[in-house]
């Protein structure tokens, strides 16, 4: 038996094990199967996502209203230097899945918020504004 034979034999064994694994897994669901005339069913209408811009808390007391508005407000404020890592796509940095954040020197990006007028970076060059810049385009 040479290397290729052993190799194809190992692949065959692996294939059979995978097939058995899939059959076993799906056999759990077989009792939930339902007869269906047209499969797959593709939905014809979709619910549209609607952004809410004019939310007013419908509560009686002013204090409660204030409390709700406060809860809805984002408190994540950050300060970027004028020449920040967010001003160039090459220095903006990739997303690190294990750490659930970006590998970057931009304080805004690190805090998982977009840059805005108050953070201090150069907004004409800033690349950390993908959502807000798209919104601005929509309003034009
Ligand atoms: Zn920045
Ligand atoms: Zn910023
Ligand atoms: Zn920025």
Which residues have their alpha-adjacent CB atom under 5 A from ion ligand 3?
86, 115, 121, 126, 128
8 A C-beta contact, residue 129 and residue 114: yes
Residues contacting 95, CB < 8 A, separation 6+ = 101, 102, 103
Report domain extents, the chain.
3-32, 78-139
Higher pLDDT, 111 or 4: 111
Q: How far is ligand 2, taken at its centre, from the CA of residue 84, in Å? A: 8
Rounded Cα gap, residues 130 and 136, in angstroms: 10
pLDDT tens, position by position, 58-92: 888 999 988 888 777 766 789 999 999 999 999 99
From residue 18, alpha-carbon distances to 7, 13, 25, 28 in Å are 16, 9, 10, 16
Evaluate if residue 7 carries a pLDDT over 90. no
Among all bound ligands, the one having the nearest atom to the CA of 81 is 1
Among all bound ligands, the one having the nearest atom to the CA of 93 is 1
Evaluate if residue 140 carries a pLDDT over 60. no
Q: How far is ligand 2, taken at its centre, from the CA of residue 64, in Å? A: 32
Higher pLDDT, 28 or 41: 28
Going 47 to 51 to 54 to 56, the CA torsion angle's sign is positive
pLDDT tens, position by position, 89-108: 999 999 988 888 899 999 99
Task: Kindly tell me the burial class for residue 18, based on how many C-beta atoms sit within 10 Å of its own C-beta (0-12, 13-18, 19 or more).
Answer: exposed
8 A C-beta contact, residue 78 and residue 126: no
Q: What is the pLDDT of residue 40?
A: 78
Q: Would you state the structure tokens that stand for residue 130, as one six-digit string? A: 């993908």
């Amino acid at each position: 038996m040479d290397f290729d034979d052993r190799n194809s034999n190992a692949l065959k064994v692996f294939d059979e094990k995978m097939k058995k694994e899939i059959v076993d897994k799906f056999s759990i669901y077989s009792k939930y199967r339902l007869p269906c005339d047209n499969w797959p069913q593709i939905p014809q209408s979709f619910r549209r996502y609607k952004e809410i811009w004019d939310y007013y808390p419908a509560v009686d007391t002013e204090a409660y209203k204030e409390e709700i508005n406060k809860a809805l407000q984002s408190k994540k404020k950050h300060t970027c230097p004028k020449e920040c890592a967010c001003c160039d796509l090459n220095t903006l940095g990739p997303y690190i899945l294990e750490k659930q954040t970006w590998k970057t020197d931009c304080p805004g990006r690190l805090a998982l918020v977009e840059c805005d007028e108050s953070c201090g970076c150069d907004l004409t060059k800033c690349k950390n504004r993908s959502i807000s810049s798209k919104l601005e385009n929509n309003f034009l």
